[in-house]
Structure 1
């Protein structure tokens, strides 16, 4: 730990290696090492875990993860400019940090990781939601990860944790809450970042559930939810029109009024509807 403490301040690292954040890469760096250590602690006990970090940049959160005792950190960084700075951290903590210069969307990290695995990242804004959806929709469940502790724009964090009846409630909330327990654990103002983004941010912590909250075929559930929210102002009997000849009966069987709108329907009701739709386990 003292070897990490001996590393230069992040502002100095950025100046030395010419690491001005690039908008094209969705980069916003956190330079306050007390804050990055706090985010690392929000991920839980890391001492027996491998940690996957996406977009480490100059390595502020990386330092926090190692200082908090992560067994091993795999950091995937697209920006080759950051490699020398990350190598300095690796040299200070031999055998505990592996850095790969790659696009996280193109790389399968599992070949480099040993379970149990936690994912902790200040995700680049331009790929954050896509990566989250991938992690929530693997072919098999439970997933490779025990938990996700991820930084998002505040608006995205609120969509992930939204409840029925709220403006933010939609597909992302249902997807996130079906197989995991997401909660906002930390809010950050724009000034916490360099450069400051135009919006506030928040850290969301997800614990993977051993199985989905309610039974449903994933493909049917996603199709039903997508159709329902693509026309969220319409009553469900209109939004889902043509999906089944006896649609209203199926909605009622799932505990949903045909005149309900998507934004008022709970996760449990959507799962019940998926089971009652053609191809669902309870479909006639």
Structure 2
């Protein structure tokens, strides 16, 4: 409850970790203001705007350095829809008081989801966030536990997101996850994910379990493009080698490159088949998931060859 620009601390009642209502407001002596401004967000193009506030709980002590614990309160008009427990365990200057929730359509269903930072990782100081996915049937936000409390979450195209997290020795790693509507779950991607694709043909392989025939056609086209890039790379490399190496050496390079490419294709196919089984997808989705995986890895391989071609071009100059 807010009065004269200040939040009154309210007690929490309800069942479960997500959902419930705030009742039994405490006295005015416990009112706190932490500078987190209300956010008005339209969850879908034709929907009425939702309001998001942060209400601090009874443990709020007015610390000027940290925000503390409370509830993300979701309301529409005068009706409170949900109160989500959350704790900000990071300094105030690491959080934008106007954009303290990051909204985007994470799972590609047309409704806005949001991520909220929880803390900074002790060694890397990377933000660690929680992802909440909107469920239009229940009109509530549900935490996506497999992707939460791990690291920083960023959009990576329609229905996909990128998870960046700290690993040993201060290094970072990242993964791309895409939501499969058919399997009703998030699926980790082996390649860069389909979010970066730009060409119209790429849309056939959008998501981890796309339509089978369309994605297979796009994957075959990507394989053909990769074959063309391999030939271009082989020709450029041969021209450079011929300047300083023997004819036998140049021919051996061409043979080894052909063997390497064929070996990579076999590896890709086997790795994608194993990866899809590891994801425990329903059997009817196996083939489409395998094609999407092959497509992503092919696009990644094409990009690597193009980088090598650019380096060869710079050497010629």
Question: Which interval holds the TM-score relative to the shorter structure?
Answer: 0.3 to 0.5
**What TM-score do you get using the length of structure 1 for normalisation?**
0.34
Structure ID, larger Rg: 2
**What TM-score do you get using the length of structure 2 for normalisation?**
0.32
Structure with larger RCO (C-alpha < 8 A, sep 6+): 1
